[in-house]
Structure 1
Amino acid sequence: MIETILKKNRSTRGFDETQKIDAETLKKWISYTRYCGSAANRQPLKYCILNEKNDVEGLLALTKWAAALPKEHLPKPHQHPVAFVVILQDTSISNGQFVMVDVGIAAQTILLSAVEEGYAGCMLGAFDSKKVQSYLNLKANLVPRLVIALGKGIENIQLVDCTDSNNYYRQDGVHYVPKRTMDELLIEKEK
């Protein structure tokens, strides 16, 4: 079960804009992050949901996508996400060095929850934090750390073993994601 969901959880950069995600569904996925580990149990993360078209398009303009595919200009017109979850660090709770570990755990939890219900998403770290903070009209202690784009994915994404490069690429309408083999991942203790 977990292997299937993990394999389906691919960074998706093309969405069916007719398939909306309501706020209650987004809140449910975020609620699962309450059960996740947090460094020193500080729980410094907060979340901002955007699922209205104008709000989504406004935030989309502040993000950059698919650095390895600059000629693609993703997401393409009429394939935009229908929702965003912005993960925020509340610096009044914690300004600790492990907050990005919390962010990763929370993001993966939200994405796995979305995939389980037939949706897809993409974690975005390429944005100007100050501009996003201003766009969302946030207090100074709420710092955007990661943006998650969400929607019904329309891309054909395939996992392949790494050969020469681990850069993702597109060929004949398929988005390929190279993954390192188990032989490359495992290191034996030296004797």
Structure 2
Amino acid sequence: MLKDLVLKNRSYRGYDPSVRLTREDLVDLVELARFTGSSVNVQPLKYYIAWKQEEVAQIQALTMWAGALKEMKLPHPGKEPAAFIIICQDMNLNSNSTKFLRDIGVAAQTMLLGAVEKGLGGCMIGSFYKPKLMDLLKLPEGVEPNLIVALGKPAEKIVLTDVGEDGSTRYYRNAEDTHYVPKRSLEDLVLEAKQ
């Protein structure tokens, strides 16, 4: 069952605009993140939730998607996410900006797996205009955004494929707009003692 969730949890960059999310949907996902581990159990992460269309559109305008497909505007117009959860660090609790990067990754992945379980999908976005986002959100003093998680009902096809002979892991789209994601083989990933 976990493997099924992991395989369905892709970085979706196109969403069904007819499916809206509620505050409760987002709070349920934050609740999952709340129970994840934290370095030295400091728990410095805070979560800004946005589900109202006007605010979602304002946040969307400050994001940059699919860096490997610079020639393409993603999400396509009309296929934007329904909601965002912005993972922030409360620097008042701990000002080390690198110490809690693992916590951010674990929290984001946990929320995305929870979204998949609900029939939704999402995408982690690390490229955004941070000062403008801070101004827009009016975050408390010392609270800084670190990662944006886009959420919605996926409306695109993503296919996992093997890395080719050229070794490239660059994702790409075909003429039908199917998104292909090359993955390294299990043999290339497992390290073990030589016999």
Q: What is the TM-score when the length of structure 1 is the normalising length?
A: 0.97
Q: How many residues align?
A: 191
Structure 1 window deviating more from structure 2 (101-110 vs 88-97): it is: 88-97
- Sequence identity percentage: 42
Tell me whether 1:48 sits opposite 2:51 in the alignment.
no
- In the TM superposition, what are the counterparts of 1:84-103 in structure 2 within 5 Å? 84-96=84-96, 97-103=98-104
Q: Match of 1:174?
A: 178
Q: Which SS does the other structure have where 1:153 is aligned?
A: coil
- In the TM superposition, what are the counterparts of 1:30-179 in structure 2 within 5 Å? 30-96=30-96, 97-163=98-164, 164=166, 165-171=168-174, 172-179=176-183
Structure 1 window deviating more from structure 2 (154-163 vs 93-102): it is: 93-102
Partners of 1:143 and 1:20 in 2: CA distance: 27
Give 5+ residue unaligned stretches, structure 2. Answer: none
Tell me the amino acid that sits aligned with residue 99 of structure 1.
F
Alpha-carbon displacement from aligned partner over 1:147-181 (angstroms, at most 9, x marks no partner): 01110001110111111210111113311111110
Structure with greater proportional strand content = 1
Partners of 1:173 and 1:78 in 2: CA distance: 15
Tell me the amino acid that sits aligned with residue 36 of structure 1.
T
Give 5+ residue unaligned stretches, structure 1. Answer: none
Alpha-carbon displacement from aligned partner over 1:93-129 (angstroms, at most 9, x marks no partner): 1123321100000000110000011001010000122
